[in-house]
Amino acid sequence: MDLWQVPIAEGPVPVTVFALAVVLLAILAVRRWRVRPLVWALAGAAIGAVVGYAAYKIVNATNVFGDAVPTFVWHWSAAAFAAIGFALGGMVGARTWRRVLAGIGVVVFAVAGVIGVNMRFGLNPTLGSLLGIAASIDLPTDAGGANQTPAPAQPIYTTSTPPADMPAVGSRGSQTIPATASGFDARDAGIYLPPAALVANAPALPLVIMMMGHPGNPDATVISDVLDQFAAQHNGLAPIVIVADQLGEAINDTACADSTAYGKARTYITVDVVDWAKKNLHIIDDPAYWTIAGYSNGGGCAITFGAQSPTLWKNILDVSGEPFGGSEQVANITKTIYGGDAAAFEASKPVNIMAAAPAGTYKGMTAVFTAGAEDVGYKAFADEVGGEARKVGMTVTRYDVPGAGHTGDALKGGLAEGFTVLYPVLGLSAAS
């Protein structure tokens, strides 16, 4: 099994790590304590808890990640640091074997904290997705640009018959997409090929270009898991997906724009990634079968690019998206990206792009806007941007994911609703 595909959000890995952490903490706690070592251990635990909580407060105060970090982060960080502090303090006056166990415990407690936080966020289900590492994917040898086809005469689901040797699930991995036109310093893109793309004489399929949040990795794990479920119900049919990097190696908020500060992020997505897809993937070369999608920061970019280039793609999937690129740090983005030109920044906002477009510009476009039902701020963003999209003529679906906030449950639920709407539009299933 590929090490980077090892599940860390469920299954034996987190169970084993948490169990080991509990056992180690119990062994370290059960001993004949003298006053001095006990004071050190308890003081270490108290200091560790304070450090964990302080780190959480500092992260939010400095707005490092834009949105406020959920409260469960400090619960896990305070607990992990408290356990680490207890282990370190307990080394005082301890025997050699206890010191060795304490050292092992420090590592295990730290890993348990990371896994716990990651599980609650639900955005990185594998070790590779957490670390931003994915094995390279082999593309079908007949996937070159010469095989691009126009829109089919009939919906794909009516003409596609899966062969007996079609795999049960798709394939995912990474590919380097050269920044030929943009020069943008992008990380490798995540790629998902559905089961129907992995057989001989595979049909040309719709294309989805997706972008993840900030911070985040261009990882295809979550969307591939969702689409594998759809493919299982539709004869292996699903879109081919590129999860492209709109942030760059430095993981900046590029505001979905070309700039001298962070490079030509927009050109990279709308030119370089598009050209690479046409040359390397067996896709339907028709904007009606293309979707620009994104989550959080990527969702803001998706509606921005969709509004700017309505002839490039006719479908938009905005999952818990920001209302516009750079919304988390307006003053800084105005200065850094737009050279202090507030009017230019205003003009870059999707609602203003759509409002300024000639009547009929967005006719025939389908857009899906989702947010977590408990994510009050992003629900308002989806209402605002989705409302403007409907006003200018797009066919809009607006959906709230029950019980979800702004983490993995919102992403999975938003993608599931989005593709429920888009499958008939893309010819992958009959209309419900």
**Which CATH number characterizes residue 198's domain?**
3.40.50.1820
CA distance 192 to 186: 18
- Please report whether residue 126 resides in a domain: no
The tens digit of pLDDT for each residue in 261-273 reads 999 999 999 999 9
Q: Of 92, 121, 150, which residue is a domain's last?
A: 121
Take residue 374 and report the two structure tokens written for it.
């408990």
* Same domain flag for 252 and 290: yes
Q: What is the mean pLDDT of residues 197-207?
A: 93
Q: CA end-to-end span of the chain, whole Å?
A: 38
Per-residue model confidence (pLDDT) at position 213: 93
* Same domain flag for 107 and 181: no
* Same domain flag for 111 and 183: no
Per-residue model confidence (pLDDT) at position 136: 87
Name the average pLDDT for the chain. 92
* Same domain flag for 291 and 377: yes
Q: What percentage of the chain reaches a pLDDT higher than 70?
A: 96
Q: Of 121, 146, 161, which residue is a domain's last?
A: 121
- Please report whether residue 129 resides in a domain: no
Q: Of 59, 87, 121, which residue is a domain's last?
A: 121
Q: What is the DSSP letter of 359?
A: T
Closest CA relative to residue 422, chosen from 298, 314, 294: 314
The tens digit of pLDDT for each residue in 358-415 reads 999 999 999 999 999 999 999 999 999 999 999 999 999 999 999 999 988 999 999 9
Residue 145 has pLDDT above 60, yes or no: no
Residue 291 has pLDDT above 90, yes or no: yes
CA distance 409 to 277: 29
Q: What is the pTM of this model?
A: 0.89
Amino acid at 246: Q
Q: Which residues of 152-180 are buried (b: 16+ CB within 10 A; e: fewer)?
A: beebbbeebeeeeebbebbbbbbbebebe
> What is the three-class DSSP state of 51?
helix
Question: Cβ(167)–Cβ(198) under 8 Å?
Answer: yes
The tens digit of pLDDT for each residue in 148-196 reads 677 888 899 999 889 999 999 999 999 999 999 999 999 999 999 999 9
* Same domain flag for 188 and 222: yes
CA distance 8 to 118: 8
Q: What is the DSSP letter of 141?
A: T
* Same domain flag for 235 and 372: yes
Per-residue model confidence (pLDDT) at position 275: 96
Per-residue model confidence (pLDDT) at position 142: 60
Residue 244 has pLDDT above 90, yes or no: yes
> In terms of residue numbers, what domain contains 268?
136-425
* Same domain flag for 116 and 159: no
Per-residue model confidence (pLDDT) at position 263: 95
Strand 171-175's sheet: what is its strand order?
Answer: 171-175, 189-193, 240-243, 207-211, 290-295, 315-319, 366-372, 395-401
Per-residue model confidence (pLDDT) at position 122: 81
- Residue 64 banded pLDDT, cuts 50, 70, 90: low
Pure H helices in 145-238: 156-159, 221-233
Residue 224 has pLDDT above 90, yes or no: yes
Strands 290-295, 315-319: pairing is parallel
- Please report whether residue 432 resides in a domain: no
Q: Residues 355, 356, 361, 366: what is their CA dihedral angle, to the nearest 10 degrees?
A: -30
Question: Cβ(241)–Cβ(220) under 8 Å?
Answer: yes
More confident call, 124 vs 143: 124
CA distance 405 to 383: 16
Cβ neighbors of 426 (< 8 A, separation 6 or more) are 156, 206, 239, 289, 291, 315
* Same domain flag for 328 and 413: yes
